[in-house]
Structure 1
Amino acid sequence: YRFSLHTMECFCKRQPTYSSAALEEVEGDVAELELKLDKLVKLCIAMIDTGKAFCVANKQFMNGIRDLAQYSSNDAVVETSLTKFSDSLQEMINFHTILFDQTQRSIKAQLQNFVKEDLRKFKDAKKQFEKVSEEKENALVKNAQVQRNKQHEVEEATNILTATRKCFRHIALDYVLQINVLQSKRRSEILKSMLSFMYAHLAFFHQGYDLFSELGPYMKDLGAQLDQLVVDAAKEKREMEQKHSTIQQKDFSSDDSKLEYNVDAANGIVMEGYLFKRASNAFKTWNRRWFSIQNNQLVYQKKFKDNPTVVVEDLRLCTVKHCEDIERRFCFEVVSPTKSCMLQADSEKLRQAWIKAVQTSIATAYRDKSDESEKLDKKSSPSTGSLESGSESKEKLLKGESALQRVQCIPGNASCCDCGLADPRWASINLGITLCIECSGIHRSLGVHFSKVRSLTLDTWEPELLKLMCELGNDVINRVYEAKVEKMGIKKPQPGQRQEKEAYIRAKYVERKFVDKYAISASPPEQEEKTVSKSCEEKRLSISKPGPVRSNDSGIQQSSDDGRESLPSMVSANSLYEPEGERQDSAFLDSKHLNPGLQLYRASYEKNLPKMAEALAHGADVNWANLEENQATPLIQAVLGGSLVTCEFLLQNGANVNQRDVQGRGPLHHATVLGHTGQVCLFLKRGANQHATDEEGKDPLTIAVEAANADIVTLLRLARMNEEMRESEGLYGQPGDETYQDIFRDFSQMASNNPEKLNRFQQESQKF
């Protein structure tokens, strides 16, 4: 309820049965509200402190997991699993920290401010009201006590009472206003703080769900491996029990007779075992030590973890002989130019084996030395063959490197794009940048329409997506999104400054404050569009000429006639950044003064990803349609340009895969007409509608059949069969069976890494 002015009027007219009770009820309610809020704030502080202690303990536990992972470096499965789990737990700790920070801002700080500010104003107003009420009561008493015959005192008392009543009414109105403001504001303050608190929980659980959804497939695979490990362990246990039973029945009296040694052992150890060694002190004591012959040296250890002690540094300078002139049995001596070492085996056969092993090692040391000399002679005159073998090994290394290694090799990617922290393990796939774990959490909170975050170590990477990451990089994107940072005198946040990071990243990518907004050309955009439209239309008409087809480096097949390319302005994916002087014939040379949509349109055809990123930063609509050129979109231009990576970049930034031009043809239609197998595979994976027909009533499958394009027909029919199967079984939203996924995965790999394998057209029947 709202304390009304009428209530205060009644109080002014001395009607306590109504006004005093209402006023006391309001004051009591405010006092109780203050107690409740104080209690809630204290409970919130206790919860935050407990939560921070939990985060500290959780971080210590996570560090324990990492220590266990480092300890298990010899077991790749355990080390990889524990590392991934510790990274995920670290991410959850970050999410918890964000939750507690938001709780402190929404509950503790906001309600404390309400108690200190608004309730304090109410108390001050209450004190003034009580004071003026007391003064009015005194004036009434004085006025009642004045005698009738004392006119001067009557007039003075009446004036004082009138002035006091006016002051009372003024203060009473202020008190009423303060009561009503407090009653109204407490609802909004309480609800606002609680709503902010609940939204913080919502974001926390969404982030946790996304994190473990990405980790789910790996955990499922690990569970399957664990089941197999349990089966293998049980099998191994049975085998060991059988061996144990067999060994117990054997006679070990001649066990040392089966001793074997291997001079060509892979670990370099020729022979090893326990021997007694006579000390060189005055007492000539004998000590049992673990001896081994390795790397042309005789060494021993007191314990297995100790560093080996070298007895003989070079066996080529030594001799070995039996010793029969001492009391102990089975002794032999290894003699070097500087010293001798007396050793004792456990049996005669072991002594013979050790002597033979030392003699063989001596001969091997001489042979290895001669071979090493021959290699040095060959290295002094290098040949072409050795250079080729080096390049082959380098090529194999590049093919086998992980996503993390490949992406971090790009300039600037070895440190976080936003704060500069070294060795980033996360990436924004639509921006093409690498991020540290803290910045990745902030990017994730921006929403997928600004940044799509993936892990470089926990997630699996499709080949076209990995190729996209390698085409951009932190240096390229920062030249666009941080163009005015130095001019504005703004310093980038340092690692650990989370609040500064959050404000900087939001200003950089959401508000785009640091993007250099270039001036629009004085010529109208329509005139520029007509200029480029004429050039594009000529290139599109040139596509219609029939001729043999060949594949470029992205798994995209192009037409040629008499050995010449029918698309003279197209460039391959390996020459995206040619100098301007080498591309003077291109119709899309100057895009600095275009509107962002037209710049994106032109750059998509040119396969210029930095220009495309710049256009998007300037606010270009990724689905912008060129009205002067059949309402073609940047994605359609990327198809015509012939780049798989360009299409992937537009799709990751929200391009509509089913947007069509005036002829009713979408990107899938154009890719099918041009025979771009890699692009067809990409669009089908991204949800392209293959049932859509153009103005001639042809869908992509009809066009592919008429063109006798076996690969594209296979892809379209598989996609259609998979779609029909999912609809019949009610598996909506499911990716499809494993065979379907494997085939599409193979096509994606070929389109990105081996496009020459897709060049299997029947050139005589090819039609566009």
Structure 2
Amino acid sequence: CTQVLHPLLRLCTDSLSDHVSHLEQYINSMEKLSVNCHSNGETEVGSAFFRLADFSKELLSPMKNQVSRLSDEALNVCVCVCVCMCVCSKQVEKEKRELARQYGMVRSEVSGGEIAEELEKERRSFQLSMCEYLIKVNEIKTKRGVDLLQNLIKHYHSHNKYELTHTPGASGCQLRQEEEKRQLCVLRDQLRPVVHTDQDSLPKQVYSMHQLLGDKQYGTERSGFLYKKSDGLRKMWQKRKCSVHNCYLTIAHATPNKPPTRLNLLTCQVKPSVEDKKCFDLISHNRTYHFLAEDEAECVAWISVLSNSKQEALSVALDGGRKGGGGPESSVEDLTRAITDDIRRMPGNNNCCDCGAPDPGWLSTNLGILTCIECSGIHREMGVHVSRIQSLSLDSLGTSDLLLARNVGNSGFNEILEANLLSPSLKPSQHSHMAERKDFILSKYQDVHFVRRGHNSASALRLGLQEATKSCDIYSLIQLYAQKTELSQPLHAHIQEKGETALHLAVLLADRTSLHILDFLAQNCSNVDAQTSAGNTALHYSCLHNKSDCVKLLLRARANPHISNTHTHTHTPIINILYPTLSAAEIFFHLSSKREKHCKNMFSWFSW
């Protein structure tokens, strides 16, 4: 009996030891995969493999202890089994003898063949159990490659499910958070129309690109002394000579040899201090300056001069006038240049969106991505209904041309348009031939082969369009656009009139932080002049709610200003609402030759 059971138990312990050693090899392989992924720049995948290796190490330690205990106890189990079987066989033999004597049977003992038959049955049963175990161990050992990854994923999901199931209150907390989010979204949707209605009821003022208007009596230039708070640990007030001229604030330093600081007011915002009436802040793109005046009147004068100088520079730039000296024009150029530099620093924008070539210099204004000169030529071949290409250095770009690029970027765009790209090797490189580039770009933009598609119905896509517009989610809009969703279709629910589209909703909810949503819809929808049941287009809504930024964006997207709605008995066209004081000839000249210039440089959307 010992000769039969001992090899089987030894085989069992050896198999478990092999399993432990294989698990150690698996952990080493996972760590190597993590190192390789980190070296290739795939930090998220490398971190995932590293966490899986740590988790497997935690499982390995108790398994080693269990195997060592099992190997020590295997021999004892074998001896005990043999002793028990011998005792049992003797007891059976004794009972059989007693029964034979009682019933007068001649046979008084059990034959060795019967005992051997019983032992054979026990042995076969034990062998069957061991075979089942070894088969399972062999199945684990034979899983390699993709099967291994799939099992790791299943293991990860099972672990998460276990945590959610056995963690008290976790699922309930998640449900409560989702319910609170839903209630807040409903409250936001209810308050937005009320806020816009209250704003519409106020007296309409002349459109200003600033939130702060200065007193005109103080003019646009000033020179004097202000106290500026230092940036050091002591935060001391230091007296500095300051002057405002041609939309620039010049701040002298305490050291005469050090050149003064010049701030372009077009890229700054002036904010009075709430706590101290003698203080105000000047917020630039990289720093906030704190100033202190001698008294409240002096503070008001400086704030007015700064605001007036900025307002005058913007007005001159937008009206095409020349004040002499080139100050406002250079200020607008500095503003555009600063925004362009900021766009170049966005994630993924240091390489071409399609081939990965370094330092791309061409912008798709309706998609918000940067490409190299070779790929930009293919974009032009596809047509302006797919991609509208302009040069960052050769073309005269305005702030409205940079609106989408400032909010999208190559990385976020490719996460959607290349979500189902099987391998990065399928993407062309900067050294690829034009035919290879063209095939990839046409598949990416026209055929959208690499977009992850869901099994959503037309109704679900329309609801998603409404939610993406409400939440100002540009990437959800790009996903819907890539799935060939009609952006001009009427939405499920309306705020003011039936038949409202995403464009109407974007106009109603528009503020300085959401203009890029309206810009994307206006440039990429099939019908920018879609009308509601009352005949109002998005351009009607922009005029009725006094939203000049929206008017300019829609005119830039070639919205028709001559469409009349059905509510006005006289069918007054939009053009008369926009320009009530101009003659017909002046209106025609404005729309034909000046619209492009007025719509290119305009906005207060840039938030530094």
Please state which band the TM-score falls in when normalised by the shorter chain.
Answer: 0.3 to 0.5
Higher helix fraction (1 or 2) = 1
What TM-score do the two structures reach when normalised by structure 2? 0.42
Which has the larger Rg? 1
What TM-score do the two structures reach when normalised by structure 1? 0.34
